[in-house]
Amino acid sequence: MSAPARPHRIDVIVNGQSARVEAGSLGTVLRMLGHDLTHAAVALNEEVVFRRDLETTTVAAGDRIEVLSPMSGG
Partner 1 sequence: MGWKLADVELDSRFLLGTAGYPSPQVLRRAVEASGAQVLTVSLRRQMAGGGNAFYDMVRESGCRVLPNTAGCHSRKEVLLTARMAREVFATNWIKLELIGDDYNLQPDPMQLVDAARDLVEDGFEVFPYTTDDLVLATRLYDAGCRVIMPWASPIGSGQGILNPFALRTLRARLPDATLIVDAGIGSPADAATAMQLGMDGCLINSAVSQAADPVGMARAFGLAIEAGRLAYESGIMARHDSAVASTPVVGTPFWHAS
- Contact residues toward partner 1 (CB under 8 A) are 15-16, 33-36, 38-43, 46-48, 50-51, 66-74
Q: How far is the CB of 67 from partner 1 (least distance, A)?
A: 5
What is the DSSP secondary structure assignment for residue 23, as one 8-state letter? S
Beta bridge partners of 9: 22
CA distances from 46 to 1, 14, 27, 64, 66 (A): 44, 12, 16, 8, 8
Shortest distance, position 1 Cβ to partner 1, whole Å: 38
Pick between residue 2 and residue 11 the one whose CB is nearest to partner 1: 11
Instruction: State whether residue 6 is helix, strand or coil.
Output: coil
CB of 58 to partner 1, least distance (A): 19
